[in-house]
Amino acid sequence: MQTRSRAPLHIVHPQAGSSDEALVAVQGFHVWFHKHHVLNDVSVTFLRNRINCIIGPSGSGKSTLIRSLNRINDDVDGFVCRGSVRFHDEEIYAQTTDVTRLRTRIGMVFQKPCIFPTSISANVLFGARHVRAIPAGQQLELVEEKLRAVSLWQEVQHRLDEPAISLSIGQQQRLCLARTLAVEPEVILLDEPTSSLDPVSTRAIEELLLDLKQNYTIIFVTHDILQAKRIADQLIFLCNGQVIEQGEKETLFRAAQRPETRSYLNEEYCDC
Ligand SMILES: Nc1ncnc2c1ncn2[C@@H]1O[C@H](COP(=O)(O)OP(=O)(O)OP(=O)(O)O)[C@@H](O)[C@H]1O
Ligand SMILES: [Mg+2]
Protein backbone atom coordinates (compact mmCIF):
# COMPACT_ATOMS: atom_id res chain seq x y z
CA MET A 1 0.00 0.00 0.00
CA GLN A 2 1.21 3.46 -0.85
CA THR A 3 1.52 5.75 2.15
CA ARG A 4 2.32 9.43 2.40
CA SER A 5 3.35 11.38 5.43
CA ARG A 6 0.94 14.10 6.48
CA ALA A 7 1.10 16.83 9.04
CA PRO A 8 -0.51 15.55 12.24
CA LEU A 9 -4.22 16.27 12.30
CA HIS A 10 -5.73 17.66 15.44
CA ILE A 11 -8.46 15.27 16.55
CA VAL A 12 -10.43 16.05 19.68
CA HIS A 13 -11.00 12.89 21.71
CA PRO A 14 -14.12 13.45 23.79
CA GLN A 15 -13.94 12.53 27.44
CA ALA A 16 -16.03 9.88 29.15
CA GLY A 17 -19.02 11.45 30.89
CA SER A 18 -19.28 14.37 28.47
CA SER A 19 -22.27 14.54 26.16
CA ASP A 20 -19.93 13.38 23.37
CA GLU A 21 -18.65 10.28 25.01
CA ALA A 22 -16.19 8.11 23.08
CA LEU A 23 -17.63 4.62 23.49
CA VAL A 24 -15.21 2.92 21.12
CA ALA A 25 -11.70 4.32 20.73
CA VAL A 26 -9.23 3.05 18.16
CA GLN A 27 -5.62 4.09 18.66
CA GLY A 28 -2.57 3.46 16.47
CA PHE A 29 -4.33 0.50 14.87
CA HIS A 30 -2.78 -1.47 11.99
CA VAL A 31 -4.15 -4.42 10.04
CA TRP A 32 -2.42 -6.76 7.64
CA PHE A 33 -3.91 -9.57 5.60
CA HIS A 34 -0.83 -11.73 5.14
CA LYS A 35 1.72 -9.10 4.00
CA HIS A 36 -0.85 -6.61 2.72
CA HIS A 37 -0.87 -3.60 5.03
CA VAL A 38 -4.53 -2.58 4.91
CA LEU A 39 -5.00 -0.21 7.88
CA ASN A 40 -2.08 2.04 8.73
CA ASP A 41 -1.94 3.74 12.12
CA VAL A 42 -5.67 4.39 12.41
CA SER A 43 -6.82 6.48 15.38
CA VAL A 44 -10.49 7.29 15.59
CA THR A 45 -13.25 7.64 18.17
CA PHE A 46 -16.86 6.54 17.85
CA LEU A 47 -19.32 8.53 19.93
CA ARG A 48 -22.10 7.10 22.06
CA ASN A 49 -25.69 7.56 20.80
CA ARG A 50 -24.47 9.02 17.53
CA ILE A 51 -24.46 7.85 13.94
CA ASN A 52 -20.75 7.58 13.22
CA CYS A 53 -20.31 7.31 9.44
CA ILE A 54 -17.16 5.90 7.84
CA ILE A 55 -16.77 7.08 4.26
CA GLY A 56 -14.05 6.63 1.69
CA PRO A 57 -13.24 5.17 -1.72
CA SER A 58 -13.51 1.49 -2.56
CA GLY A 59 -10.62 -0.49 -1.09
CA SER A 60 -9.77 2.20 1.47
CA GLY A 61 -10.30 -0.19 4.39
CA LYS A 62 -13.79 0.75 5.62
CA SER A 63 -15.01 -2.84 5.95
CA THR A 64 -11.73 -3.92 7.49
CA LEU A 65 -12.04 -1.19 10.12
CA ILE A 66 -15.67 -1.87 11.02
CA ARG A 67 -15.09 -5.64 11.08
CA SER A 68 -12.17 -5.13 13.45
CA LEU A 69 -14.47 -3.57 16.04
CA ASN A 70 -16.16 -6.83 16.99
CA ARG A 71 -13.25 -9.05 16.00
CA ILE A 72 -14.95 -10.64 13.02
CA ASN A 73 -11.65 -10.32 11.14
CA ASP A 74 -10.13 -12.79 13.62
CA ASP A 75 -11.69 -15.53 11.48
CA VAL A 76 -10.11 -14.28 8.24
CA ASP A 77 -7.06 -16.13 6.97
CA GLY A 78 -3.85 -14.09 7.31
CA PHE A 79 -5.36 -11.38 9.58
CA VAL A 80 -2.83 -9.69 11.86
CA CYS A 81 -3.42 -6.51 13.83
CA ARG A 82 -1.46 -4.21 16.11
CA GLY A 83 -2.57 -1.26 18.22
CA SER A 84 -5.52 -0.64 20.46
CA VAL A 85 -9.30 -0.85 20.19
CA ARG A 86 -11.02 0.06 23.45
CA PHE A 87 -14.72 -0.42 24.22
CA HIS A 88 -15.89 1.06 27.52
CA ASP A 89 -12.19 1.63 28.08
CA GLU A 90 -11.44 -2.09 27.91
CA GLU A 91 -9.06 -3.48 25.33
CA ILE A 92 -11.03 -5.72 23.00
CA TYR A 93 -7.90 -7.42 21.63
CA ALA A 94 -6.81 -8.47 25.13
CA GLN A 95 -6.28 -12.21 25.47
CA THR A 96 -8.91 -12.32 28.19
CA THR A 97 -11.69 -10.86 26.02
CA ASP A 98 -14.71 -13.12 25.65
CA VAL A 99 -15.20 -12.67 21.91
CA THR A 100 -18.67 -14.22 21.83
CA ARG A 101 -19.83 -11.81 24.51
CA LEU A 102 -18.15 -8.91 22.71
CA ARG A 103 -20.18 -9.74 19.58
CA THR A 104 -23.39 -9.67 21.57
CA ARG A 105 -22.52 -6.17 22.78
CA ILE A 106 -21.33 -4.99 19.37
CA GLY A 107 -23.73 -6.43 16.80
CA MET A 108 -23.41 -6.28 13.03
CA VAL A 109 -25.59 -5.96 9.95
CA PHE A 110 -23.93 -6.82 6.65
CA GLN A 111 -24.18 -5.38 3.15
CA LYS A 112 -26.48 -8.11 1.88
CA PRO A 113 -29.29 -9.42 4.08
CA CYS A 114 -28.10 -12.55 5.86
CA ILE A 115 -31.31 -14.55 6.27
CA PHE A 116 -31.50 -18.02 7.81
CA PRO A 117 -33.62 -20.65 6.03
CA THR A 118 -36.31 -20.59 8.65
CA SER A 119 -39.39 -18.57 9.59
CA ILE A 120 -39.59 -14.82 10.11
CA SER A 121 -40.06 -15.20 13.87
CA ALA A 122 -37.24 -17.76 14.20
CA ASN A 123 -34.95 -15.34 12.38
CA VAL A 124 -35.69 -12.61 14.93
CA LEU A 125 -34.97 -14.98 17.81
CA PHE A 126 -31.93 -16.68 16.26
CA GLY A 127 -29.09 -14.74 17.91
CA ALA A 128 -30.94 -13.89 21.13
CA ARG A 129 -31.56 -17.59 21.85
CA HIS A 130 -27.83 -18.19 21.80
CA VAL A 131 -27.10 -15.61 24.47
CA ARG A 132 -29.98 -16.05 26.89
CA ALA A 133 -32.90 -18.33 27.65
CA ILE A 134 -36.14 -16.88 26.33
CA PRO A 135 -39.17 -18.58 27.90
CA ALA A 136 -41.65 -19.81 25.27
CA GLY A 137 -44.31 -17.46 26.67
CA GLN A 138 -42.11 -14.41 26.02
CA GLN A 139 -40.92 -15.22 22.53
CA LEU A 140 -43.81 -13.73 20.60
CA GLU A 141 -43.59 -10.57 22.71
CA LEU A 142 -39.89 -10.21 21.88
CA VAL A 143 -40.53 -10.86 18.18
CA GLU A 144 -43.25 -8.20 18.12
CA GLU A 145 -41.14 -5.67 20.02
CA LYS A 146 -38.16 -6.00 17.68
CA LEU A 147 -40.24 -6.10 14.50
CA ARG A 148 -42.01 -2.94 15.66
CA ALA A 149 -38.63 -1.33 16.34
CA VAL A 150 -37.69 -1.81 12.69
CA SER A 151 -41.17 -0.87 11.39
CA LEU A 152 -41.81 -4.35 10.01
CA TRP A 153 -44.55 -5.54 12.35
CA GLN A 154 -47.47 -4.15 10.36
CA GLU A 155 -46.23 -5.85 7.22
CA VAL A 156 -45.50 -9.31 8.64
CA GLN A 157 -47.62 -9.81 11.75
CA HIS A 158 -49.93 -12.29 9.99
CA ARG A 159 -47.13 -14.33 8.43
CA LEU A 160 -44.60 -14.83 11.22
CA ASP A 161 -44.32 -18.57 10.51
CA GLU A 162 -43.67 -18.10 6.81
CA PRO A 163 -40.11 -18.49 5.46
CA ALA A 164 -38.12 -15.29 5.88
CA ILE A 165 -36.79 -15.74 2.38
CA SER A 166 -40.27 -14.84 1.07
CA LEU A 167 -39.72 -11.23 2.18
CA SER A 168 -38.48 -8.50 -0.16
CA ILE A 169 -34.79 -7.58 0.09
CA GLY A 170 -35.64 -4.36 1.94
CA GLN A 171 -37.82 -6.27 4.40
CA GLN A 172 -35.07 -8.88 4.83
CA GLN A 173 -32.58 -6.17 5.73
CA ARG A 174 -34.97 -4.76 8.33
CA LEU A 175 -35.42 -8.31 9.66
CA CYS A 176 -31.63 -8.60 10.02
CA LEU A 177 -31.66 -5.37 11.99
CA ALA A 178 -34.48 -6.76 14.20
CA ARG A 179 -32.41 -9.91 14.82
CA THR A 180 -29.42 -7.78 15.81
CA LEU A 181 -31.59 -5.67 18.15
CA ALA A 182 -33.03 -8.81 19.79
CA VAL A 183 -29.54 -9.64 21.09
CA GLU A 184 -29.64 -6.23 22.84
CA PRO A 185 -26.27 -4.85 21.79
CA GLU A 186 -24.96 -1.42 22.72
CA VAL A 187 -23.29 -0.78 19.39
CA ILE A 188 -24.61 -1.64 15.93
CA LEU A 189 -22.12 -1.94 13.08
CA LEU A 190 -23.62 -1.58 9.60
CA ASP A 191 -21.49 -2.12 6.50
CA GLU A 192 -23.28 -0.50 3.55
CA PRO A 193 -26.61 -2.00 4.63
CA THR A 194 -28.64 -0.15 2.01
CA SER A 195 -26.44 -0.68 -1.04
CA SER A 196 -28.75 -3.37 -2.47
CA LEU A 197 -31.98 -1.57 -1.55
CA ASP A 198 -34.29 0.68 -3.55
CA PRO A 199 -34.64 4.34 -2.49
CA VAL A 200 -37.82 3.76 -0.48
CA SER A 201 -36.33 0.88 1.54
CA THR A 202 -33.12 2.89 1.94
CA ARG A 203 -35.03 5.81 3.42
CA ALA A 204 -36.90 3.41 5.74
CA ILE A 205 -33.58 2.11 7.13
CA GLU A 206 -32.22 5.65 7.44
CA GLU A 207 -35.30 6.78 9.38
CA LEU A 208 -34.92 3.78 11.67
CA LEU A 209 -31.28 4.53 12.39
CA LEU A 210 -32.10 8.15 13.21
CA ASP A 211 -34.61 6.80 15.71
CA LEU A 212 -32.41 3.99 17.06
CA LYS A 213 -29.47 6.24 17.87
CA GLN A 214 -31.30 7.38 20.98
CA ASN A 215 -30.69 3.92 22.44
CA TYR A 216 -27.74 2.61 20.47
CA THR A 217 -24.38 3.73 19.15
CA ILE A 218 -24.35 3.35 15.39
CA ILE A 219 -21.23 2.84 13.28
CA PHE A 220 -22.17 2.95 9.64
CA VAL A 221 -20.14 2.47 6.47
CA THR A 222 -21.42 4.11 3.31
CA HIS A 223 -20.15 4.95 -0.15
CA ASP A 224 -22.94 7.43 -0.55
CA ILE A 225 -21.96 10.99 0.36
CA LEU A 226 -25.58 12.17 0.23
CA GLN A 227 -26.59 9.42 2.60
CA ALA A 228 -23.81 10.44 5.00
CA LYS A 229 -25.08 14.00 4.72
CA ARG A 230 -28.62 12.87 5.59
CA ILE A 231 -27.91 10.71 8.61
CA ALA A 232 -24.41 11.12 10.03
CA ASP A 233 -23.57 13.00 13.20
CA GLN A 234 -19.87 12.27 12.89
CA LEU A 235 -17.84 11.57 9.77
CA ILE A 236 -14.65 9.57 9.49
CA PHE A 237 -12.95 9.87 6.12
CA LEU A 238 -10.73 6.91 5.36
CA CYS A 239 -8.45 6.73 2.34
CA ASN A 240 -5.75 4.26 1.46
CA GLY A 241 -5.90 2.67 4.91
CA GLN A 242 -5.50 5.93 6.82
CA VAL A 243 -7.90 8.26 8.57
CA ILE A 244 -7.59 11.52 6.69
CA GLU A 245 -10.03 13.44 8.86
CA GLN A 246 -12.67 12.94 11.52
CA GLY A 247 -15.20 15.41 12.85
CA GLU A 248 -18.76 16.57 13.07
CA LYS A 249 -20.62 16.24 9.81
CA GLU A 250 -21.56 19.91 9.57
CA THR A 251 -17.98 20.96 10.21
CA LEU A 252 -16.53 18.63 7.60
CA PHE A 253 -19.05 19.54 4.92
CA ARG A 254 -18.63 23.25 5.64
CA ALA A 255 -14.93 23.53 6.36
CA ALA A 256 -12.90 20.33 6.15
CA GLN A 257 -9.26 20.88 7.03
CA ARG A 258 -7.85 18.53 4.42
CA PRO A 259 -8.05 19.22 0.69
CA GLU A 260 -8.50 15.45 0.15
CA THR A 261 -11.62 15.52 2.35
CA ARG A 262 -13.00 18.55 0.55
CA SER A 263 -12.57 17.00 -2.88
CA TYR A 264 -14.04 13.69 -1.73
CA LEU A 265 -17.09 15.30 -0.12
CA ASN A 266 -17.67 17.57 -3.11
CA GLU A 267 -16.83 15.28 -6.01
CA GLU A 268 -16.34 11.80 -4.53
CA TYR A 269 -12.83 12.09 -5.89
CA CYS A 270 -9.71 11.43 -3.89
CA ASP A 271 -6.06 11.25 -4.94
CA CYS A 272 -4.65 10.30 -1.54
N1 LIG B 1 -9.60 -11.24 3.47
C2 LIG B 1 -8.77 -10.45 2.82
N3 LIG B 1 -7.58 -10.92 2.37
C4 LIG B 1 -6.73 -10.12 1.71
N5 LIG B 1 -6.94 -8.82 1.46
C6 LIG B 1 -8.10 -8.30 1.88
C7 LIG B 1 -9.08 -9.08 2.58
N8 LIG B 1 -10.13 -8.28 2.88
C9 LIG B 1 -9.82 -7.07 2.37
N10 LIG B 1 -8.62 -7.09 1.80
C11 LIG B 1 -7.97 -5.94 1.14
O12 LIG B 1 -7.94 -4.88 2.04
C13 LIG B 1 -8.16 -3.64 1.37
C14 LIG B 1 -9.32 -2.92 2.03
O15 LIG B 1 -10.48 -3.69 1.79
P16 LIG B 1 -11.88 -3.30 2.43
O17 LIG B 1 -12.83 -4.36 2.03
O18 LIG B 1 -11.70 -3.05 3.87
O19 LIG B 1 -12.19 -1.93 1.68
P20 LIG B 1 -13.54 -1.09 1.60
O21 LIG B 1 -13.16 0.33 1.85
O22 LIG B 1 -14.56 -1.71 2.48
O23 LIG B 1 -13.94 -1.25 0.07
P24 LIG B 1 -15.41 -1.27 -0.59
O25 LIG B 1 -15.91 0.14 -0.55
O26 LIG B 1 -15.16 -1.73 -2.00
O27 LIG B 1 -16.27 -2.22 0.18
C28 LIG B 1 -8.39 -3.98 -0.10
O29 LIG B 1 -7.19 -3.79 -0.80
C30 LIG B 1 -8.76 -5.45 -0.05
O31 LIG B 1 -8.37 -6.09 -1.23
MG1 LIG C 1 -16.41 -2.63 2.10
Res 17: pLDDT:
46
Res 119: pLDDT:
98
Q: Is 135 contained in some domain? A: yes
Q: Is 114 contained in some domain? A: yes
Res 13: pLDDT:
45
Res 267: pLDDT:
79
Q: Count other C-beta atoms under 10 Å from residue 83's C-beta.
A: 16
**Closest residue (by CA) to atom 17 of ligand 1?**
63
Tell me the CATH number at 205. Answer: 3.40.50.300
- 24-58 confidence digits (pLDDT tens): 999 999 999 999 999 999 999 999 999 999 999 99
- Mean pLDDT computed over 174-194: 96
Res 272: pLDDT:
76
Nearest-angstrom CA–CA distance, 179 and 168: 16
Range(s) of the domain holding residue 111: 22-267
Res 191: pLDDT:
96
Q: Is 147 contained in some domain? A: yes
**Closest residue (by CA) to atom 27 of ligand 1?**
58
**Closest residue (by CA) to atom 7 of ligand 1?**
33
- 87-145 confidence digits (pLDDT tens): 999 999 999 999 999 999 999 999 899 999 999 999 999 999 998 999 999 999 999 99
CA of 233 to the centre of ligand 1 (A): 25
Ramachandran angles phi, psi of 80, nearest 5°: -135, 135
Res 134: pLDDT:
93
Which atom of ligand 1 lies closest to the CA of 241? Answer: 14
- 204-223 confidence digits (pLDDT tens): 899 999 999 999 999 999 98
CA of 161 to the centre of ligand 2 (A): 33
Q: Which residues line ligand 1 (CB under 6 A)?
A: 33, 36, 38, 56, 58-64, 76, 78, 223
Res 141: pLDDT:
96
Q: Is 17 contained in some domain? A: no
- 60-96 confidence digits (pLDDT tens): 999 999 999 999 999 999 999 999 999 999 999 999 9
Reported in sequence order, the residue ranges of the chain that DSSP labels E, i.e. its strands, are 22-33, 36-47, 51-55, 79-87, 90-91, 106-109, 187-191, 217-221, 234-239, 242-248
Q: Where are the alpha helices (DSSP H) in 81-135?
A: 99-105, 120-131
Q: Is 14 contained in some domain? A: no
Q: Is 9 contained in some domain? A: no
- 152-177 confidence digits (pLDDT tens): 999 999 999 999 999 999 999 999 99
Q: Is 8 contained in some domain? A: no
- Binning pLDDT at 50, 70 and 90, where does residue 271 land? confident
More confident call, 138 vs 2: 138
Mutate to test the pocket of ligand 1, among 1, 3, 32, 38 (most ligand atoms within 8 A of CB): 38
Q: Which residues contact 226 (CB under 8 A, 6 or more apart)?
A: none
CA of 142 to the centre of ligand 2 (A): 32
Q: Is 13 contained in some domain? A: no
User: Structurally, how many domains does the chain consist of?
Assistant: 1
Mutate to test the pocket of ligand 1, among 36, 75, 195 (most ligand atoms within 8 A of CB): 36
**Closest residue (by CA) to atom 31 of ligand 1?**
59
